[in-house]
A and B are shown apart, each in its own frame.
Chain A
Amino acid sequence: EAGVTQFPSHSVIEKGQTVTLRCDPISGHDNLYWYRRVMGKEIKFLLHFVKESKQDESGMPNNRFLAERTGGTYSTLKVQPAELEDSGVYFCASSQVFRNEQFFGPGTRLTVL
């Protein structure tokens, strides 16, 4: 069974540009989570989808971040326009309904110059 995959693994962009990160959860996992780790700090929750619905987006930093999960399968996280403080590693995780174990992807390292 394939694990959680994320694309790209690395992204380097200029301040003001747009970047879209993609996450493909494990097949059949209705729960999908996005997290971010800024260098030197803890991993922080961004948002949670149940199927295609946003269950909790309390961790989204501001309206420059837009997450979607059309059809309840893969998810995208778009940052527009990117700022220097958006640099970090963005993790995606998925889990089955009623289960508490989350499976993590390898992360996307975003660098904003």
Chain B
Amino acid sequence: AQSVTQLGSHVSVSEGALVLLRCNYSSSVPPYLFWYVQYPNQGLQLLLKYTTGATLVKGINGFEAEFKKSETSFHLTKPSAHMSDAAEYFCAVSDGPGNQGGKLIFGQGTELSVKP
């Protein structure tokens, strides 16, 4: 079975400060890991993903995440927060691509607020 835990349902940072959103996962098979973002009144948008290969993955809007197998973590970071980053962020895990299943198991979500 797979599961995801996001530490902190609400995170508040100042504009220009480091953004760090924490995600830990549990998986009995090599995981596929994702970060999605949901802006108000919109659907989920993929920020970045890890499947295989390089453990540091870069995504859109300056975000990146590092897969650390020994820590079962996939934390999301951005060096400098912008007001437009205010949204809800979801970490998710799956067991493979769509032909093998591919259903996403989500964490509880983290609401990011950015103060001016």
Contacts and interface: CB of A to CB of B under 8 A. Distances in A.
A76 to B, nearest CB: 18
Query: For chain A, which range describes its interface: under 10, 10 to 19, 20 to 34, or 35 or more residues?
Result: 20 to 34
Contact of B97 (A4, A56, A91, A98): A98
A75 interface: no
Contact of B109 (A4, A42, A44, A97): A42
B21 to A, nearest CB: 15
B46 interface: yes
B102 A31 contact: yes
Contacts of A3: 43
Query: For chain B, which range describes its interface: under 10, 10 to 19, 20 to 34, or 35 or more residues?
Result: 20 to 34
A99 B98 contact: yes
A41 B44 CA distance: 16
Contact of A56 (B44, B96, B103): B103
B94 A100 contact: yes
A98 B99 CA distance: 5
Interface in A64-113: 91, 93, 95-107
A42 B106 contact: yes
Interface string B35-60: 01000011111100101000000000
B97 A104 contact: no
29 contacts: A3-B43, A31-B98, A33-B103, A41-B108, A42-B106, A43-B104, A45-B105, A48-B102, A50-B98, A50-B99, A55-B101, A56-B101, A91-B44, A93-B44, A93-B104, A97-B98, A97-B99, A98-B99, A99-B97, A100-B49, A100-B98, A102-B102, A103-B46, A104-B36, A104-B43, A104-B44, A105-B43, A106-B42, A107-B43
